[in-house]
């Protein structure tokens, strides 16, 4: 009998994988054959993909109910990354297919990236760079240059990345507080940061707001017009989580109207930016959804995904299940 198949599905428009998935094949070994497929959407799922025992999904390809129902023997859909909002969890559960993610592979990188954006805003690196390259030396942004130890960094979501960001910020001298209604009492004491019990209180207190929560029905547009109005006009906003946590039109309008001092967005709603007008928004840094990227993180992500796929093929318990199917059938 032929070996079962693990399908590595990459986005045809911007592939990040290799034509031959050597990293995954090395982890999976003799347990399965591993093939790479390029697809634009899940409408392209056909042929061998539908017979795969496990699928590893790169990028933001949506995996909707209609595609999930076409799988003939799939045991696990593994999202090559932290976010899994592009996968229909309920449809996969109904088919008894586990959905897994890789929640820890880019913890250091995303936290570092958030701090880099925060520092770039607080020290106005990009406007100063532009001025110097105009062969000028006029500092026009003195009203935005801040002393870090006088600032409060508010973190939404104190999970792995939020905690890593908080610890880095503490080392830089920030006063750090957080809002996360799902954490038990005492987490603030363990990490050594302050806790706010409501998002509104966090917003009013923060000089810098950094988002580190998943995108769910609850957090979609968590920060919109009303929430932005609670921030100080001198405040900065950083998002390295998911774009739609912040309502794009709301934050761009706030920047244009001077109701917000600046924003550093690794992710934006309906990314990438769509118009020259969006790109010309003042005091905006955008970094191409790249916070997770490093040579090391990419290898770790691929090895973890492959390890989960191997377990699915062998019928072993699965790691990082997000839809309640705890073991491959």
Q: What is the set of active-site residues? A: 242, 271, 289
CA distances for 223 relative to 54, 141, 227, 248, 254, angstroms = 36, 26, 5, 9, 12
How would you classify residue 135: left for phi > 0, otherwise alpha for psi between -120 and 50, otherwise beta?
left
Residues 6 or more apart whose CB falls under 8 angstroms from that of 138 comprise 131
Cα separation, 26 vs 157, in Å, equals 35
> Cis omega before residue 272 (within 30°)?
yes
H or E, element range at 33: strand 33-39
CB 215 within 8 A of CB 119: no
Count H helices and E strands in the chain, helices first.
12, 12
Torsion of CA 280, 235, 103, 21, to 10 degrees: 20
Cα separation, 171 vs 120, in Å, equals 17
Angle, CA 48 vertex, CA 42 and CA 50 arms, to 5°: 50
- 119-157 burial, b if ≥16 CB within 10 A, otherwise e? ebbbebebbbeebeeeeeeeeebeebebebeebbbbbbb
CB 235 within 8 A of CB 208: yes
Measured in whole angstroms, how far is the alpha carbon of residue 105 from the centre of its chain? 11
CB 246 within 8 A of CB 239: yes
End-to-end CA distance of the chain: 20
């Amino acid at each position: 009998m032929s070996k079962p198949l693990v399908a590595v599905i990459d986005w045809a428009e911007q592939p990040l994988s290799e034509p031959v998935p050597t990293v995954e094949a090395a982890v999976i070994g003799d347990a399965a054959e591993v093939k790479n497929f390029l697809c634009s959407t899940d409408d392209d799922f056909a042929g061998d993909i539908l017979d795969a025992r496990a699928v590893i999904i790169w990028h933001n390809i949506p995996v909707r109910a209609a595609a999930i129902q076409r799988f003939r023997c799939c045991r696990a859909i593994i999202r090559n990354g932290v976010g899994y909002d592009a996968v229909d969890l309920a449809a996969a559960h109904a088919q008894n297919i586990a959905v897994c993610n890789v929640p820890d592979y880019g913890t250091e990188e995303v936290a570092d990236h958030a701090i880099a954006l925060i520092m770039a805003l607080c020290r106005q690196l990009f406007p100063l760079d532009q001025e110097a390259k105009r062969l000028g030396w006029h500092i026009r942004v003195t009203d935005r240059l801040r002393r870090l130890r006088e600032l409060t960094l508010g973190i939404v979501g104190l999970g792995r990345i939020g905690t890593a960001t908080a610890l880095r910020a503490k080392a830089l001298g920030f006063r750090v507080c957080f809002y996360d209604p799902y954490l038990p009492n005492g987490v603030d004491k363990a990490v050594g940061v302050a806790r706010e019990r409501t998002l509104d209180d966090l917003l009013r207190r923060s000089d810098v707001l950094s988002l580190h929560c998943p995108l769910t029905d609850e957090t979609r547009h968590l920060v919109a017009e009303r929430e932005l109005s609670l921030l100080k006009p001198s405040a900065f906003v950083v998002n390295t989580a998911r774009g739609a946590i912040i309502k794009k039109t709301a934050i761009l309008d706030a920047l244009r109207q001077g109701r917000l001092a600046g924003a550093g967005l690794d992710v934006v709603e309906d990314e990438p930016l769509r118009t020259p007008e969006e790109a010309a928004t003042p005091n905006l840094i955008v970094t191409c959804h790249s916070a997770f990227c490093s040579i090391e993180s990419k290898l770790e992500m691929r090895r973890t995904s492959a390890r989960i796929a191997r377990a699915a093929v062998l019928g072993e318990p699965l790691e990082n299940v997000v839809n309640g199917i705890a073991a491959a059938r």
